[in-house]
Amino acid sequence: MQLEQNGIEAHTVWRFQDGKLASATDQLTVEEPVELLLEYGPLQDRKRSRISVNLLTPGDAAAWATGFLFCEGLLGSPREIERITIGEDQISVCLTDAPEAWQHIHLDRTARRLAATASCGFCGKENLEGLSWEPAYFPRKEYPKISGEFLIGLGKKLDAQQEIFAHTGSLHAAALFNAQGELLLVKEDIGRHNALDKLIGEALIKEMLPLRDHILWLSGRIGFELVQKASMAGLPIIAAVGAPSTMAVKAAEISGITLVGFLRGSQFNCYSFPERLLPD
């Protein structure tokens, strides 16, 4: 797989329509296993470790690797990266030999030695300790203040942005808005956690973190790991089309995040910290 290629592939199908079966062409989302390698340590004792194997949709490979490592607590700043090498089905991230780039790395706490599926970012965690995390940033209490109508309007701004989804109908999107409702970033992937890694990685590369004045919009349900990743970036508000899990709500309560689900039409549910929502 070429990791920077288009994430769509044509496939011949047999379509039943109007009582007839005929050959047709359908557009499918590409999903391929990608191995992530990390090189780190002092010059005299460099280590090269396999961090994970993830099912990924092509595109934004460097941003995904950067965001993934940051959310796993293995990277503090893009300045710690010496180079990123992108192969056909492998991404290798080489960190600088500066002590601040590798002294905090303890792979026994974060190892994912099993393949992680696109639907569950925690597949491959070796024990329950992998479910705990130390956020790099915390959102500011009760800030930003936004209205319910403001949240409802965000999804409408994304209709023209999900390019691959429009062709395949099988991708998840993660979008970043500022407190004024301006759409800043949109990333897509067949895995909802991959899309968020791409978005956070791009924001990290552009030196936008912490994202304490921003809103995260998600196209699907909200699992624990999505809240964990958002908290690492300091995001104060998560709004999603789907429902959250119990662990996602608990993580939001711990992290000080306003969690909004079932954002459809003109209504939604707020599961934590409603103080940020202004009455209309």
Q: Which residues have a catalytic role annotated? A: 120
Q: Which two tokens stand for residue 158?
A: 């994304």
Give the three-class secondary structure for 154. helix
Contacts of 67 (CB under 8 A, 6+ apart): 196, 197, 198, 199, 200, 201, 202, 204, 229
* Secondary structure element (H or E) that encloses residue 185, with its range: strand 183-189
Residue 4: CB atoms within 10 A of its CB come to 12
DSSP string, 43-94: GGG-EEEEEEEEEE-SS-HHHHHHHHHHHTTS-S-GGGEEEEEE-SSEEEEE
Residue type for position 24: A
Contact 238, 259 (CB under 8 A): yes
Q: Are 245 and 238 spatial neighbours (Cβ–Cβ below 8 Å)?
A: no
